[in-house]
Amino acid sequence: MAQVMLSNGRYRARLATGEDDIAAAQLLRTQAFATETTDCDVFDGLCQHVLVEDMRAGNHLVCCFRLFDMQGGSEIGRSYSAQFYDLAALTAFEGRMVEMGRFCVDPDYNDPDILRTAWGAMTAYVDTHSVEMLFGCSSFAGTETEAYLDAFAVLKHRHLAPKRWLPRVKAPDVFRFAARLRRKPDSKKAMLRMPPLLRTYLAMGGWVSDHAVVDRQMNTLHVFTGLEIGAIPPARKRLLRMIVG
Q: Tens digits of per-residue pLDDT, 7-31? A: 878 999 999 999 999 999 999 999 9
Cα 137 from Cα 99, distance rounded (Å): 9
pLDDT digits (tens, 9 = 90+) for 172-186: 999 999 999 998 999
Collapsed DSSP state (helix, strand, coil) of residue 164: coil
pLDDT tens, residue by residue, 193-202? 999 999 999 9
Q: Which residues pair with 214 in a beta bridge?
A: 221
pLDDT of residue 242: 60
If phi > 0 it is left, if psi is from -120 to 50 it is alpha, else beta; for residue 147 that is alpha
**DSSP type of residue 232:** S
pLDDT at 243: 58
- Residue 59 is predicted with a pLDDT of 96
Kindly state the average pLDDT of the residues 234-244: 70
Work out the average pLDDT over 26-46.
Answer: 95
Q: Is the pLDDT of residue 241 over 90?
A: no
pLDDT of 5: 85
Residue 100: what pLDDT?
97
Q: For residue 120, how many C-alpha atoms fall within 13 Å in the half-sphere facing its CB?
A: 24
To the nearest 10 degrees (0 to 180), the angle between helices 112-129 and 234-244 is: 100
Residue-wise pLDDT tens digits, 91-130: 999 999 999 999 999 999 999 999 999 999 999 999 999 9
